[in-house]
Amino acid sequence: MPQLGIAEEETRAASIKNVVVAGATGQTGSRVFERLVAQNFVTTGGVRNVAKASKSLQGNLKQLDVVEDSIDSLTETLKGADGLIIACGMNPGKNLLRMSAAAHEVDNLGTCKLISAAKNAGIKKVAMVSSILTDGRAWGQENSPRFVATNAFGGALDEKLVSEKFLRASGLDYTIVRPGGLKAKTPTGELFINSENTLNSGEISRDLVADVSIACLNDPKSSNKVLEIFEDEGKPAKVFNGLVM
């Protein structure tokens, strides 16, 4: 595919206004959904149970289950949208014995199905929320405390890496957002954006993860890149005003 010029790239990025959020009931996904609605995007929340989700989310919701739905079904759900934010991740519930199975089903196989559906549906841009150290083995971090602790949950990092690679090979315009440890509270430090395979520690507010994921849709600087993000607690928090890379 020929490379786009800067003006063409900006025009394409600026056209992303109809967005599906996969995992819209999650702690990060719900923040993404609410911000997109507030910013006047045409927004669809992809949820496993519409009736249940409608009790906490106000807006357009569609059934989307990356485990149970076929690629064809997921394609139908995504048709008409031009952007997709993937904010879903495994949740084994109370059955900790299913962590490995859940991570494989959701973070690996299910997410890959969703990416295939996005391509079939003509999605122009995919932003996927992943995690720092997803590719930790590639730069000697497999024994680092954060990698060991995170991957202990069903091999989640190894499963996420499969879908990351699948997205990168898909031909879709993508941004992979790898946050540090997730915090429910509002930001207390300045957002720091780094290149891939550089961060092995740090935390970040889910609010900032949502802001960055949305900004990736319309910022050509993030095209086909991996962004690793955390909060620099040594500097005061700032109001988010776009990606500074």
Q: What pLDDT was estimated at residue 16? A: 95
Read off the pTM: 0.92
Q: What pLDDT was estimated at residue 95? A: 67
Residue ranges of the chain whose pLDDT lies below 70: 1-14, 92-95
Q: What pLDDT was estimated at residue 9? A: 42
Q: What pLDDT was estimated at residue 245? A: 81
Q: What pLDDT was estimated at residue 92? A: 64
Q: What pLDDT was estimated at residue 4? A: 36
Q: What pLDDT was estimated at residue 94? A: 56
Taking each helix axis as running N to C, give the angle between helix 156-168 and helix 111-121, from 0 to 180 degrees, rounded to the nearest 10: 20
Which domains, ranges and CATH numbers included, belong to the chain? 6-232 (3.40.50.720)
9 burial via Cβ count (<10 Å: 0-12, 13-18, 19+): middle
d(CA 99, CA 174): 27
